[in-house]
Chains A and B, each alone.
Chain A
Amino acid sequence: MKVSSTNSGRRLVIGVPFLWLTLFFLLPFIIVVKISLSMAAVAIPPYTEVFSYANEQLQILFNLSNYLFLAEDELYLAAYLGSLKIALISTLLCLLIGYPMAYAIARARKDLQTVLLLLIMMPTWTAILIRVYAWMGILGNNGILNNILLGIGLIDTPLQILNTDTAVYIGVVYSYLPFMVLPLYANLVKHDPSLLEAAADLGAHGLTSFWKVTVPLSKNGIVAGCMLVFIPVVGEFVIPELLGGPETLMIGKVMWQEFFSNRDWPVASALAVVMLALLIVPIILFNRNQAKALEGKL
């Protein structure tokens, strides 16, 4: 369809969302990079200016000390590695749990499919904070899970689950599982059953045709699901803060502390820039995949 019968109308339609996203999504990143090159100062706002103009001279002071600071302090390296590890393992867990679920939904009766899909989708819209909070009551030392286990005599002393990495894994898989199932379902439901019949005619049954036909065909769904889980989990703050313990090092939590407790905006910005640098490849991968999906090429 041609929208361009009036050129100014077309420009307006493209321009409004483009301008908004550039101003409130793209431009802020450039400012983060700028602030990460400034110095912390006791001032409002609490950093020094990178550009200054005095005596007809434009002074640009790049201060790399924030990045050097990050490289020297082992805490930050450990936090990045911790985030990547937790994100990687939970993505795998989500895939292992989510794939069979998506598969079962895609194979269900048509009217059952919409209900199951709603059941999966509802939590993605509902209060992550509250659902994580629900786990605090379950996993605590005198929580519901420990009470049950003690009650049936399986354990003698309460298990320490809350405030450990285990609780973080439970919380992350729990919160992000729907984000894995939805793209996988969207992909699996489009598969042509005649392909599996053809594979069966050629002698491939059960697991063989599943591995050789279904899994390769669902590659785009797997990529989309994994990216939807992995990327946000790397920067996750709420789950490690509420369910994790002192030994849970995740970069989102460290950045939050740098910003809100230490009020060191430049170091927090440098942390964000490095996090973004780590995530840029997965984000581009996701965007390509998503752009194709948006245009209906997948």
Chain B
Amino acid sequence: MKRFGFSNLMLVLGLLFIYLPMVILVIYSFNASQLVTVWGGWSLRWYGGLADNTQLMSAVLRSLQVAFFTALAAVMLGTLAAFVLTRIPRFRGRTLFGGLVTAPLVMPEVITGLSLLLLFVAMGQLLGWPAERGLTTIWIAHTTFCSAYVAVVVSARLRELDLSIEEAAMDLGARPWKVFFLITVPMIAPSLVAGAMMSFALSLDDLVLASFVSGPGATTLPMEIFSAVRLGVKPEINAVASLILLAVSLATFIAWYIARRTERSRRLALQEAGANEVPER
């Protein structure tokens, strides 16, 4: 039984390792002292100054805007890709397609960023679009990258689904798109929400891709933070960072809660409907 003790100890230590730095950051964001490492008592002064920082606030608005549209597009694109991978067993170029869907998960961001920038430059020369890089090009980069994450989450759900429901609807004469929107989408809704939240957070956090494909006047929040952080730790940045941590954790928690509750009520409904016929697993 020694091994159980060891792995549980590692789990506790690992979680401490993951969360302690974040907790310390949040605590120090309430530090009254101008010196970031000297504790000078509790204070909200760094939070108070944030709202007046117009440069920072407009970067926040830009980032939220990009993240919102990224989440929207990535869910649509990622769900389509997941649907193709789980429901269409054979078509020309399937192996290539599978590779294109999963490769963005691991591709180093500096490579993706540089290559997309060069594409946009070449397109600008050849087609005249995009004439100037900015929020649209950042949105395209983020959508491409996030849809891979959505595809993984959604395809896991699509694989678990009972195909006979979709088949029954089809047998009863429903057109494929109707089956998809009336049967499949409601059943995979939790994973769509999870995918959207994930894309939102990933987009809000991205520095490297945005730095490459951004243009004049399109500085996102991570770019703003990065240029300040490069010079060292600052109390204002501690406050911004804590707010972002709070926002993203909250979004993650809500996504998880929704997914869990829907899952539970679905199981309950199945159990009630099936009573003895539906096996438990």
Q: Would you give the shortest CB distance from B78 to chain A, in whole angstroms?
A: 8
Dominant SS at the B interface?
helix
Instruction: State whether A238 touches B207 (Cβ < 8 A).
Output: yes
Stretch at the interface among B42-50, B185-193, B197-205, B273-281: B197-205
Query: What's the Cα separation between A268 and B111 when bound, in Å?
Result: 10
In the complex, what residues of A have CB within 8 A of residue B80's CB? 13, 16-17
Chain B, residues 1-12, CB within 8 Å of chain A (1/0): the string is 011101110110
The answer, among A18, A107, A269, for a CB contact under 8 Å with B93, is A18
* Cβ–Cβ contact B252 & A122, under 8 A: yes
Interface residues of A in 20-68 (CB under 8 A from B): 20-29, 31-32, 35, 45
Closest chain A residue to B108, Cβ basis: A235
Q: Mark B52-78, 1 if CB is under 8 A from A, else 0.
A: 000000000000000000000000010
| Contact A144 B37, beta carbon cutoff 8 Å | yes
Q: Are A294 and B119 in contact (CB under 8 A)?
A: no
| Shortest Cβ gap from A228 to chain B (Å) | 6
Decide yes or no whether A221 CB sits under 8 A from chain B: no
Are A27 and B205 in contact, CB atoms less than 8 angstroms apart?
A: no
Residue B172, interface by CB 8 Å: no
B: number of interface residues (CB 8 Å): 100
Within 8 Å by CB of B25, from A104, A134, A206, A210, lies A134
Residue contact B106 to A129, C-beta cutoff 8 Å: no
B160-180 toward A: CB 8 Å interface, digit per residue (1/0)?
A: 000100110010000111000
- Taking CB atoms, residues of chain B closer than 8 Å to A103 are 7
B86 in contact (CB, < 8 A)? yes
**Interfacial chain A residues near B122, Cβ < 8 Å:** 31
User: Which one of B11, B17, B102, B147 has the highest number of Cβ atoms from chain A below 10 Å of its Cβ?
Assistant: B11
A286 CA / B95 CA spacing, docked (Å): 13
| Complex interface: chain A residues within 8 A of B83 (CB) | 13
Is B144's beta carbon under 8 Å from chain A? yes
By the criterion CB–CB under 8 Å, are A133 and B245 in contact? no
Q: B205–A235 contact, CB under 8 A?
A: no
Q: Is A5 touching B37 in the complex (CB atoms < 8 A)?
A: no
The residues of B that contact A275 with a CB separation of less than 8 Å are 108, 111
Residue A207 at the B interface, CB < 8 A? yes
Q: Judge whether B18 is part of the interface by a CB distance below 8 angstroms.
A: yes
In the bound complex, residues from chain A placing their C-beta under 8 Å from that of B7 are 100-101, 103-104, 107
Could you tell me the distance between the alpha carbons of A256 and B111 in the complex, rounded to whole angstroms? 10
Which residues from A are CB-within-8-Å of B106? 227-228, 231-232, 282-283, 286
A291 CB, nearest partner CB in chain B, Å: 4
The answer to whether the Cβ of A255 comes within 8 Å of any Cβ in the partner chain is yes
Give me 25 A-to-B residue pairs in the complex whose CB atoms sit less than 8 angstroms apart, sorted by A's number: A9-B177, A13-B80, A18-B97, A24-B119, A28-B119, A45-B121, A97-B14, A100-B6, A107-B4, A119-B18, A125-B202, A126-B249, A127-B241, A127-B245, A133-B233, A137-B28, A144-B24, A144-B28, A207-B3, A234-B108, A242-B230, A286-B105, A290-B98, A295-B86, A296-B159
Q: Which residues of B contact A (CB under 8 A)?
A: 2-4, 6-8, 10-11, 14-15, 17-19, 21-22, 24-25, 28, 36-37, 77, 80-88, 91, 93, 95, 97-112, 114-116, 118-119, 121-122, 125, 140-141, 144, 147, 151-152, 155, 159, 163, 166-167, 170, 175-177, 197-198, 201-202, 204-205, 207-208, 211-212, 222, 225-226, 229-230, 232-233, 237-238, 241, 244-245, 248-249, 252-253, 256, 260
A residues with a Cβ closer than 8 A to B are 1-6, 9-10, 13-14, 16-18, 20-29, 31-32, 35, 45, 97-98, 100-101, 103-105, 107, 114, 116, 118-123, 125-131, 133-138, 140, 142-144, 147, 174, 177-178, 181, 206-207, 210, 227-228, 231-232, 234-238, 241-242, 252, 255-256, 259-260, 265, 268-269, 272, 275-276, 279, 282-284, 286-287, 290-291, 294-296
